[in-house]
Structure 1
């Protein structure tokens, strides 16, 4: 088990950092659409607004934080190159950011990562270093390679520039939809959640921000409710983007300060929500991307006729694997 962080940084991320990231990302990332569904509104007893980051470059929100972080490195650091560890979406983000900025990228990825994510990361020009998650701690491998090769580590969530970049998802959403009563955001390491919570506090202080995790990877939920950092090791969940071991030095304090609640959903509920998004909204969503919708459709969060923003974090899913999941959970 990796050692969780214990010391909070001297200064955390502020909304001004999110606003600066939005300017930096202008013309680099897509302003993704907000979609609605009368069918899902009826099922959730709420008016839902889906922020569709599955239509983002690389197929997920991660390019926002990855590019924001890599773009601000010194010329010397860019010349040496960057490294990160990721199950797939941050991997693709850093790989593409490296290609756009002329920076060599090395990505530590589990052998069990979806093939579509492995292939895309290599296609963006990055070197992929595979590892066995049962035998290797990715954070330790990433730090060791960074030291040996003189690379700059750009972690997937626990970095101020990454958090600020991810917060532009929420910043855009509040510019697209007025008067949201609640915002549901999936949570792995908390980068997207804490960034979006910062945007919510700026634009709509009374909006209720809820983070959603898979039940098997509930470390952030336990951390939130206990006030003490909790960990989980290699959680067995279909939501591969939420298999992080713990919140970080940057994200944990932000989640405690700006998030109103944390809930979990079962894998079965998650797959059924994912299938419903595919079937009724005609959008390809990966399991992690359906966490927010699953919380509403599975009654972990009551609709209560509210206006609810739901972040759909990504759509990078192996289609054959998705079909097998739908069959396994009896939704085909």
Structure 2
């Protein structure tokens, strides 16, 4: 099993490529949660993710023959960039298989770091199958995204940095996909102080670890569905699962809606842009998915900032909707002059800002003398939404809430 000494040995190799990222106290989220909350900004890492640490440590330990043959890996995006950069820096050829629906920004970034990208399959696991085929066909060394002790050790250097910057840390909250990150961090922190609590977090749509721990063996989901694409794996690794069972204190899950709210809050209140997987630890804290004491020193590890801009738009709108800041409604108007103005008058009286109006007369589901209207509205919170809907219904409008 991965040892504390393995993480210590990785530190010098990793420091040649990876940055020591900031650990900052958050007034906003400390006030919101009651905890003494510090954010580990690993999203400011080179390539925008922690993955470069593990990739650097693994590739640095290749034999001369392995360097000559090159490496291959599979990744949803962040590991791909880490492998591409680490390999290019020491002159090793890299080939990376990514899911066909991988974010365009991550595909472009991987190529820009010098990696050859092959798009294959609907998710990470399908991409990994193709990568192993290439490994056999071309004699390359497979650099696993998480189930490798040297990769895990490289990721564990984050734990060493957290302890170095904040020795009083009591709880560290870490996202889980395949388990490499939390295995390394837990090993590092427990090696420093056994009393430090490590809490793992998965997205509900990719939550294999909690069930695996309950059953005592690894289980594999048939599919995954989450906005946190960086942790969208069907199962945890064999080696990482053993470390998680040994060293992780608790594993919880968060919904996509909760992830969206956390991501939006980080962007608005801390001016910090994370990807879905990066926001997962903060979501677990703000949604109180595990117990923590008032003033407990808690560190959510924000471990990735590579979000596709199309996804970002959707997530922001989802987060605003969940917090009552955005509302989409549908109603039916009598099709006569002034009907739309009457509706807008009600909205104006309730101090609602209108983003967009779609006016449809040809919908077969409404009467011929009526028109269907959909409106995108800016609102000020859940109470404002409730008051607005009541005002519209009192004015005689039948309203369907779409978002």
**Equivalent residue number for residue 277 of structure 2:** 288
Runs of 4+ aligned residues of structure 1 deviating over 6 Å after TM superposition are none
Structure 2: distance between partners of 1:104 and 1:270: 36
Q: CA deviation at 1:229?
A: 0.8
Q: 1:308 aligns with which of 278, 298, 320?
A: 298
Q: What does 1:53-64 correspond to in 2, within 5 Å?
A: 53-64=42-53
Question: Hey, which of these two has a bigger chunk of strand by percent?
Answer: 2
Cα 1:66–1:262 shift into 2, 3 Å = same
Normalising by structure 1, report the TM-score.
Answer: 0.94
Q: CA deviation at 1:320?
A: 3.3
1:52 aligns with 2:15: no
Q: Secondary structure at the match of 1:283?
A: coil
- 1:192-211 per-position Cα deviation (integer Å, ceiling 9, x unaligned): 00100001111121111110
Q: CA deviation at 1:143?
A: 0.9
The question of whether the paired residues in 1 share the 8 Å contact of 2:172 and 2:197 is answered with yes
User: May I ask how many residue pairs the two structures share in their alignment?
Assistant: 321
Structure 2: distance between partners of 1:315 and 1:165: 19
**Equivalent residue number for residue 139 of structure 2:** 150
**Equivalent residue number for residue 198 of structure 1:** 187
Q: CA deviation at 1:236?
A: 0.7
Q: CA deviation at 1:134?
A: 6.9
1:15 aligns with 2:4: yes
The question of whether the paired residues in 1 share the 8 Å contact of 2:76 and 2:123 is answered with no
1:181 aligns with 2:164: no
1:161 aligns with 2:150: yes
Q: CA deviation at 1:249?
A: 2.2
Greater length-normalized contact order (CA 8 Å, ≥ 6 residues apart): 1
The question of whether the paired residues in 2 share the 8 Å contact of 1:184 and 1:209 is answered with yes
1:34 aligns with 2:23: yes
Q: 2:119 aligns with which of 114, 120, 130?
A: 130
Give the unaligned 5+ runs of structure 2: 326-403
Return 289-298 or 217-226, whichever deviates more: 217-226
Structure 1: distance between partners of 2:226 and 2:235: 15
Q: Secondary structure at the match of 2:279?
A: helix
- 1:34-53 per-position Cα deviation (integer Å, ceiling 9, x unaligned): 12211111212201111111
Q: What does 1:207-286 correspond to in 2, within 5 Å?
A: 207-286=196-275
Over the aligned positions, Cα root-mean-square deviation in angstroms equals 1.4
**Equivalent residue number for residue 322 of structure 1:** 312
Return 62-71 or 241-250, whichever deviates more: 241-250
Q: Secondary structure at the match of 2:241?
A: helix
Cα 1:193–1:119 shift into 2, 3 Å = same
Q: CA deviation at 1:135?
A: 11
Structure 2: distance between partners of 1:189 and 1:136: 11
